[in-house]
Chain A
C-alpha cells in the first residue's frame, strides 16, 4: 500500500485549539518530545475565529493512541479532541503536482486527470501542473498512475476529516437506544 493510504496503523485526531500564537508548536512539540510520529497534519481556522482546527493523522504504532490523546488533552490551549476512525469518517485531501510531460504525452495525463475529476492548473512546454482532490486512497491511485510520466513536484495537503453522518431518524437518541437495548 502506498505510504499515503489509510491502514490500520493510522488514526485521525481532529483537534480544536485556541487560535493563539505558538499553539501549533506546542502540539508538534508534544509529538516530538514523546516520540509519537505524525503522519500528516493540516491546520486551518475553524468556524469560530477564537479556535483553529488541527487534523492530525497519527501512526498509532509509535505509541498507544490513548496515551497520545491524553497527553494532547493536557495541553492548556487544546479545547477538544475528536478521534475519528478512518472507517467511520469522510476524509478528503488535495494533491498538487507538476508532471514532466511534453506535447506528445500531455493528452494521456489530461485524460487521467479527467478520470479523477481533477483540474489542469498550469501548462508549460514540457510540464503540466495538475490538481486532484478526494479521498486519500483515490489520490494514491492517481499518483501510482501518473508516476511513470515523472513528477517534478508533488505536494499533498494532509487530510481533513469529518465523521460519517448517521442515517437514523433521530441521531441524538442513538446512545440512549443502545443503552436501552443493552
Chain B
C-alpha cells in the first residue's frame, strides 16, 4: 500500500504533529509561506509573535517550565537572523529548542537572493546541530533527528533550514523509526561508570565539610527528587545556582540558596571552605567561581555532567562522572546503600518552624527564607558498615558553622522608608508573599534578576525562568508568555527592568491578542541598573549612557495601548494593593510600573575577577566584609 504524497510543507507540519508538538511560536514571511498553509489545518496551536526574537524566547520559556522542546518557526533572512539571540541563549542554558527557518529556493542559494542568509553557517556556533534540508523526502527523518538531538544528552537548540522549493516539492510520506535516524556520531552517555560512582560515594562519606553544588542540569535531568533524597540521606548542605533555583526548596534546612557573584554569604563561603564539592549538572561558571585560582582551594571535586566536555574544563575534578544527573544520583544512592548508609535518616525536612529573623540594626530587613541548619540526629548507620564512620553528627560542626554564617550574614537591605523610590527588595518581598508558592517567575537580566533570585522563595522546581549563561536583556516578557502557554494553570509573573522591558515589550500585544494573561512587574529605576552599579563602584560614579527615564516611555499608557492593564506604584503602601489588583486580573496581561530607588545596589557582591574570599556584603548593613 503506497503512502500518501505530501508536499514538503505538509510533511514538516505532520512531522511536528508526530512529535506531539502542541504549540509553536512564529511569524511568517516569503520563504516559509508554503509551510504556513498547512498550519491552518493542523492541530498545532500557532502563536503569532510581533518579532522573531519573541518567538525564540517564548519557545524557551515554554521549554523551561514543561521540559518539552520549544518550537519556533520563522522565515529566511532577517526572520532567521532575528532568532539567533534566542538560539544562543538556549545553547548557553541547555534549553531544548527546535527552530524551523524558511530559506530561499535551493536554486537561489548562494546568489544573494532576496532575504537570503546563510543561517546554518551563522548558527553553527550557537546550536547543538543544524540541518539544511535539500530533499523533501528527508523532512520526516530530519525532524525526528532534530527532536532527538535537542532533547537527549545535554539538551540544546537545533535548527532546520527549509528551502522554499523543498517545501513545495512532493514526497511519499513515512515516519522514521529509531533505527532510521542517521546519526552515526551521536551517542550520549546516560549512566555513570559504577566504579567511579562507588568511589564518589566513598568520598562523600569521608568528607567533613561537603557541599552539593547543584546546577541547571538537575532540572534538565528531572533529578530534583533524587537530589532531595541525596541531600536528606547524607545531611550534606546544597547550594542552588542561578540555573538551579527551585531544584531544592529554599525553605529546606539544608538549602543554602544561591552561590556566585551575587550569591548569599553562606552559599559562597560554604563552597570556599568546603573539603568536597559535589558538582551535579553545574559547570563552574565564572559567575560562580569568581577567580578560579582561588576558588574552593581545599575542595576535592566530584563532577557529574552529561557533557564530558565540562569535566576538567575550568576546574580539574578528582572524580568526573559522565552521565545523566538523575541516573547518576540514583546510582550514588545505591552505592551509599551498599556502603551501609541508613535509608531514611528521618530528619532532613525536619519541618522546623522558621526561626524569627534575628533583630538586626534598626530598619534592616532580613530574608526570612531558609530555616537555619538543623543538626538533628538521623537514624544510626548499620554497625560495622563503612558508613558507621559516618554518623550524621559528623557533619554537625560544619552545619553549625554554616548556621553561624547564616545568622551573621543574612541577606538584608535597609528597609523601606517613606522617602525616595521603592526598595526593589521590598517590592519583591511583597510580591512573593502575595502570590501562590508555585507561581512561575521569569526575569530579564540585570539587577532585577539578581534581586528576584535572592528575594523570591523558590519552593518548587520549574518555577524560575531566566537567562543565565548568555545574559539576554529582554528575555523576561516573551519567556513569561511562553511559560504561561506551557503552564496555563499557574500564575506567571515576569520581573523585569525598565531597560529590559523596552527591548521586547511589544510581545505583550501577542499576549493580549492570544489571551495569555501574564503579569509584568517593572522595577523601574530609570537606569540600566546593573551597568550603573558597576560605573558607581568601579568607574568613580562616572555614569556613561545608563540613564533612561522614569516617564519616557509612559509605561502605563504603553501597557494599555497593548491591551494590558497598566498600573503605576510610587508609594510603599500602594505596592500590596496594586499586586492584589493585578492578581485578580485573569483575562489580559497586567503591567505594573514600580518606581524604584536607583541608588539601590545588589549585594552581596564579588567583583568581576576577584576571589570569592573577597565577597562584599552590603556596607549599609554595617557588617563589613567577611
Contacts and interface: CB of A to CB of B under 8 A. Distances in A.
Interface of A: 17-18, 21-22, 25-26, 29, 33, 50, 64, 66-67, 70-71, 73-80
Contacts of B129: 75-76
Given A67-B309, A67-B313, A70-B309, A77 B185 contact: yes
A166 B524 CA distance: 71
A21 B132 contact: yes
B57 to A, nearest CB: 23
B110 interface: no
Interface residues of B, number: 18
Given A21-B132, A22-B120, A22-B132, A79 B309 contact: no
B494 to A, nearest CB: 32
Contact of B185 (A18, A64, A70): A18
B383 interface: no
Contacts of A21: 132
A15 to B, nearest CB: 10
Interface of B: 120-121, 124-125, 128-129, 132, 149, 183-186, 307-309, 311-313
Main secondary structure of the interface of A (DSSP, over half): mixed
Contact of B309 (A50, A73, A78): A73
A67 B315 CA distance: 12
User: Which 6 residue pairs across A and B have the least CB separation, nearest first?
Assistant: A70-B309, A79-B185, A76-B129, A78-B185, A33-B125, A79-B184
A26 B308 CA distance: 19
A21 B129 CA distance: 13
Given A29-B125, A70-B308, A76 B313 contact: no
Contact of A76 (B121, B128, B307, B309): B128
Nearest to A77: B185
Contacts of B125: 29, 33
A73 B132 CA distance: 21
Contacts of B185: 17-18, 75-80
A29 B184 contact: no
B121 A25 contact: yes
A17 B308 CA distance: 20
Contacts of A71: 309
B404 to A, nearest CB: 40
A73 B309 CA distance: 9
Contacts of A77: 185
A144 B185 CA distance: 42
A17 B309 CA distance: 19
A76 B183 contact: yes
A172 B311 CA distance: 30
A80 to B, nearest CB: 8
Contact of B307 (A50, A74, A78): A74
Contact of B184 (A18, A25, A26, A67): A18
Contact of A29 (B124, B183, B186): B124
B308 A76 contact: no
A138 B120 CA distance: 41
Nearest to B149: A76
Give the residue among B183, B185, B313 with the most A Cβ atoms within 10 A: B185
Contacts of B128: 76
A20 to B, nearest CB: 9
Contacts of A22: 120-121, 132
